[in-house]
Structure 1
Amino acid sequence: MKMNRWEKLEHKPAPLFAPAFGPLAGIRVLLNGTVVAAPFCATMMSDFGAEVIALERPKVGGDPARHQRPQIAEGNKHIGGGWVQNSRNKLSFALETNLNIPESREIFLSLIKNSDVWIENMVWIDKLGISDEMLMEVNPKLVICHISGYGTSGFGGDQRQINRPGYDPLGQSESGWALLQGYPDREPYYAQQYIGDYLTGLIAVNGILMAYMNAQKTGKGQSIDASLTESWMRLMDDNFVLWTTSQTLKHRQGIMQTAFQPAGVFECGDGGYINLGSYGKTAYNNVLKGFGIDSEKYSYEECSSSPEAVASPLGRELDGIFKKFFKEHTAQEAINICIDNKISAAHIKTAEEVYNEPHWHLRGDWVKYTDQTLNKDVEAFGIIPKLSETPGQVWRGAPALGQDTSRVLTELLGYNENEIEALKGKGVID
């Protein structure tokens, strides 16, 4: 019986293409993920030494994140800002990942055999001829991470729900989270900047590392299911237990707290904003002391100990004093007073103001690297969390589409130049 190419392939350990650094050196990650959650999950691993090979569909121009606006331009080349930030430290392999195409099947399974982790958010992988069981036969120690909107069928659920397209605002809505955001007399809103996608990516990383540790001990891989909606559900704090135990539902209340004060967003004299919060009697008295307000006249018990105290005439009078205080100061003046008096407050900043804060530069939070598509030096947010002994690093910028296809085929999978040339024009790697 003729053996498949991937069956004869010798496993080559990582790192083969990435430099050896960080606690995840030696782990190879294969990524079939687009836009945010799955790619970010892989980036968090690559920032700490994992060798990540990102598979991109050449027919559609690769990951859609490459083309999202706003973009960064250099000459006649353009690339999405999110791509520049989130796709560093990866190799780009152009592959039509459809196992119904024989050549694609051989390449993909060869990559699976040489990988420790496979991350995907394609959802309908069965249509591509991919199943967890098949991949585990190829590589029994493989850690498989599925990222989706509503879960995958291998972990149960209603198939009608599983088949739904999933995006961050939809996960916020279906989880109950969005209904708590905004003002009670207006429509609810959802958070911007793909927070749920990043959250899901972090939860997925956690699952991958736990499964990888188990695979090293037992020799047995496993599948992980990280869904966007369930990630938001996990952020719902006490909402579900309040409902299941006492049928209590929380409601949106805007930016000001109703149960204690001072708490909320206050406008300053220069048009800036301060977010201030002081929960509990000690914190309350500390705020009043810092602002020079009489804590005997405006006692915690009468002004902040309950919703009734906050809503009382004296409580409302105190709120007016806070508002007046901030309107008489610039945001920078106000935050300096808060910092000097150890008052829990924050200046609501623009990206420019955050970047210009010396504290974050002193912590080494900004890194420079060359984006491979633009061949342009860029500066981006760096590596978190910070590790004392095995820190992460950025060893390359985000790659151009298919930049590493030939190199991976040759050095990892053993294809020669003639074989690579024969693959071209078939909708496999181009």
Structure 2
Amino acid sequence: MARGSVDVHVVRGDDGTTRIAADPATTADPATTADPATGPPPAPDFTRAVLDAAGAVLTWPVLGDPVLPVAEIHDATRAQQWLWAVYGERVAGAVHACAAGELVDARVPSDLTPLAGRAARLGFGHWAARWWPASHLDGIPSLQPDVLGLELAALTHDCQQLFDDGGDQPDDWVPELVGDHQVALDPLIQWWHSTPPSTDTARQLESVLRSVDDAADSAGLDGEALGRLRSSLAQPRRPHGTPVDPVTLFVRHDGYALAAGEPLVTGGRLIARGSGTNDWRRYPPGFVDASETAVSWTARALGARRQIEVEVVAHIAAPVTAVPLAAEVRVNDGPRNRVTLSRRVDMWTGRADLSLPAGETQPRIELGVLLPGFDPGPGPEGDADRDSIRALARRRLAAAAQPDARTSPPHDGTYGPFLAEIAAAATDEDY
């Protein structure tokens, strides 16, 4: 196999779709030994980066080290506009042959292209926006959403070949991303001007700012912040001033500290207490601290009544308005019942009566937190996967904290530090 290429399987499914995946013979990942037409059993959502492209869905395992995505192609005609630029002309030709019914299964050399790397980074950025395991309890700072949003806008613009104007495509989201997150433009410009121009961070800042400017110009966006951006980019790069701590540049949530948890109910006899399951898939990002120990419960006897108290540590960005977050409680393998939770400072709390057999002193209680209407239902246990994601976040933050060590290709495979990670790594909050 030639340097700069990797073999992939191009397989036509019974339903007429085409799948591109890594060739099992060229990877040590045991999961790739599964049927190439269907792939391995799906990994938990929070271990995969996903990107909707024209005519296909692209996925990358964030815990792996791939540049090339797995592609599930449902419209080969639309996908041809980017296939050759991501996988190379030989793979694009094989997909065309599969769509025409001339080919069922082939091993094809694929090129490692610049667009493949940019697409992988964009996919990882969307993963970070959804699944980054921010936790005060685990010592993992959150990512500033406006900084990440602007870098995603820049990457989407740079990857526009992947998208078309047929339907709701990510390229349509660029103006929205810029509009929603332009509050971070002035701090990014200040950060850029205060950073020595020879550093990786300065080059990354300039690249993001110029892409955002180009994207805004293409979309016809205007405004004071964008005007200042264009003016700054048009002027000669002035010598950098006193280095600025990026943490001081961005609006952060103040006054967030874990309060000493006072019991919801005083008195009563303690029956049992324990930790619940914190399944990240069951609520949107920014609601609950990502720690495994964020969900806890206490069962009490109050006279003849039996009651459960639930406490869930809130994410630093959790909404303070009324949200129907709930805990799902199951006792002794019985039916699942829901307990409504309300926000109390830094906690979601709630309580409900328990139905226990007379004399029961050691109930088996299962408890998880969810958002009704969003919740896909309980999934398979993913403790080890969540631990791996936390380890990934810590590695990335450690790398982002040492700019002199950042090189290309980036850390953790394709995905170098995002500006939001560099800022988070510099945080002086009590994590």
- TM-score class, shorter-chain normalisation, is under 0.3
Structure with the larger RCO, 1 or 2 (CA within 8 Å, 6+ apart):
1
Higher share of residues assigned strand = 2
What's the TM-score, normalizing by structure 1? 0.24
What's the TM-score, normalizing by structure 2? 0.24
